[in-house]
Amino acid sequence: MTIGKTSSQPPSKPTDDAAAQDQLQQVQSLYPSRVVLTTYPSQLGIDPVPLHWGAKTPGERGPVVASRNQDTIGKRNAIGAGGGSYCIYRALAVAIGALAPNHRPDFRLTEPTHQIGPFPAWSDPEKIVSLDSWGHATVEHFSDYIEKGVDVRPTIAVTKAHMKLAEIDDAISKGILHCDGDIVTKDGELKVVKVASEPVWHLPGVAKRFGISEAVLRRALFEDTGGMYPELITRPDLQVFLPPIGGLTVYIFGNPEYIPDPTKRLTVRVHDECNGSDVFGSDICTCKPYLIYSIEECVREAQNGGVGVVVYFRKEGRALGEVTKYLVYNARKRQEGGDTAANYFKRTEFVAGVKDMRFQALMPDILHWLGVKRIDRFISMSNMKYEAIVGSGIEIIERVEIPEDRMPADSKVEIEAKVADGYFTTGAVHTGESLDDVKGRNWDEIVH
């Protein structure tokens, strides 16, 4: 008697061939059959749109063109893809059929809600190297290219909104802020102008800013992104790169026109993303309390006739990432002797190899784009941010630390370690053995 059984053998070759042919047809329906892995300066059909970084007018500067679609690939003058880190999601949308690969945006009605600039720094190749000074005015200045089929995309957007925060409601109830009907509405909402900016790097300028050669920068960017962008190596003529990293958002409280006005006071906070604290209220750091305090101070400045600016960078976990940050948290809490200020940076270095990868050298660019020449009150204790801003030619009158009563108990380890490492303070600085005495909560105290 023969007992039938399910075959575990692989499908027959005809089935394999049919599946492969089907996949090939799917790919060819989206893209040309010829795969272009990279391009070269003297290659037939390569004729980049002229781009002169630091030119005085947008017409002389030219648009940033990074698209690889058939109509534009030969005209590209930039390496990478638009959208920063979101370019990967765009590729996925195309792959699953949710987005046509040749989709062209309809930019009607998208123009900025407020006029910003131009300022002298926009045409100074030394002042701005990490964003496109004309990125918000693509339609205004480069519509002729768009009409000719060149895929030019904005890299900056300017809008306006109301903000409603429970912490601001609390500040109003305590008399810290008041509803003036202008900056703060009668319902306790904050009127704000918002600017979103994607990273656009001028490679020679970025290399110079960090004191390295452009060749080293290009090779490192190529190697440490898994060879994602071969044109970093094959196209030395392309000097602009759109890196797949997070961008930034600017929140302006008060009239944006006051920012470059020397007769108006300006309060500024430059804040690097901390999802755990900023959004979910983790108390192991001072990020959210400092952010809320800075918003209050910016609003207060605006209500007193000046203007306030918060710049929010996507540099999670000191640009080491959230996975690394949580690994460090575990190591800090489990180490012998407990979580101490003395070992705060050591634990980060053990895991990541470096204590901080934010490298604030590029950070002042957005301030120059906004026309900032002087900051009256800088709501930050960071020595790296202070030195980068002052070193770029912007004067800082007063540095403002986070008030003691705003610090969560478990954040003292972080803040005392940073003060010992050079952060600004008007108080005492712990050194040596006294840093061992600054301890955070241990695992036994975290009951779940």
Residues that are catalytic: 356, 358
Owner of token pair 């008399």: 175
Q: Are 383 and 423 in contact (CB under 8 A)?
A: yes
Give burial (CB, 10 Å; 0-12/13-18/19+) of 335: middle
Cis ω for the linkage preceding 118 (within 30 of 0)? yes
Cα 93 to chain centroid, rounded? 23
CB contact burial 279-316 (16+ within 10 A = b; e otherwise): eeebbbbbbbbbbbbbbbbbbbbbbeebbbbbbbbbbb
Q: Using CA atoms in the order 231, 369, 158, 267, what is the torsion angle rounded to 10 degrees? A: 140
Owner of token pair 């409280």: 253
Between CA 129 and CA 54 the distance in angstroms is 9
Collect all residues with Cβ–Cβ distance below 8 Å to 279 and sequence separation of at least 6.
none
Length of the chain: 448
Between CA 316 and CA 413 the distance in angstroms is 19
